[in-house]
Copies of this chain bind each other. A is one copy, B any other.
Amino acid sequence: MTSFRLALIQLQISSIKSDNVTRACSFIREAATQGAKIVSLPECFNSPYGAKYFPEYAEKIPGESTQKLSEVAKECSIYLIGAYCRVGLGICYDMRFAELAQIYAQRGCQLLVYPGAFNLTTGPAHWELLQRSRAVDNQVYVATASPARDDKASYVAWGHSTVVNPWGEVLAKAGTEEAIVYSDIDLKKLAEIRQQIPVFRQKRSDLYAVEMKKP
């Protein structure tokens, strides 16, 4: 498979967990009918964002939410993020650590997905820049899935779920409202870019390297 469709679900999160999960499932079904093969939910898709909410909303894994998500993924024959080979997964602030993306790229990942929720300070400053940085430096596709913005929430998410290609171009980007972002991931294009600018072959691994401490 050299190309496939990715969908990012920029969910509007409410304080009712069962409602969040039901709505997430219905968006997953919609994305599947649009041809998506990999679907990502945002960070904290079933709970308001904030440490004070976690004791009430937390679940064991497997648990109620993962059970529902597994069922819908199976029903729709799609992969929910986390379960697909060659996809590197980080959460939100992980985007700031170039080393994580470098290690994923070394291990053959061609798509990095960061469910995340930047705020109204770090969002405009760094949300898109960090994705484009990770994409160009590692010549991979990068996608972020944010919750939709809720100006009345205690933590106001930036929104703007995005897909960037390995050339650093923004392929698709949501606004602040609830939305599904679709993008066709073309691994032939990725291979072409790696041939045009062969930084992987040219890295001076005799002088430096990013190394895992525990394999």
Residue A153 at the chain B interface, CB threshold 8 Å: no
Q: How far is the CB of A38 from chain B (nearest CB, A)?
A: 25
Q: Once the chains bind, are B97 and A199 in contact (CB under 8 Å)?
A: yes
CB pairs A–B below 8 angstroms (26 shown): A97-B199, A97-B202, A97-B204, A98-B98, A98-B102, A98-B137, A99-B203, A99-B208, A99-B209, A102-B210, A125-B167, A125-B169, A129-B136, A130-B136, A132-B133, A133-B133, A133-B137, A206-B213, A206-B214, A207-B212, A207-B213, A207-B214, A208-B211, A208-B212, A210-B210, A210-B211
Which residue of B has the minimal Cβ distance to A168? Answer: B129
Identical chains in the assembly: 2
A100 at the interface (CB under 8 A from B): yes
Q: Which residue of B lies closest to A98 (CB)?
A: B137
Interface size on A, residues (CB 8 A): 33
Q: Which of A136, A137, A212 has the most CB of B within 10 A?
A: A137
- Contact status A210-B209, CB under 8 Å: yes
Considering the chains assembled together, what is the distance between the CA atoms of A133 and B136 in angstroms?
9
A199 to B98, CA, bound (A): 10
Q: Which residue of B lies closest to A102 (CB)?
A: B98
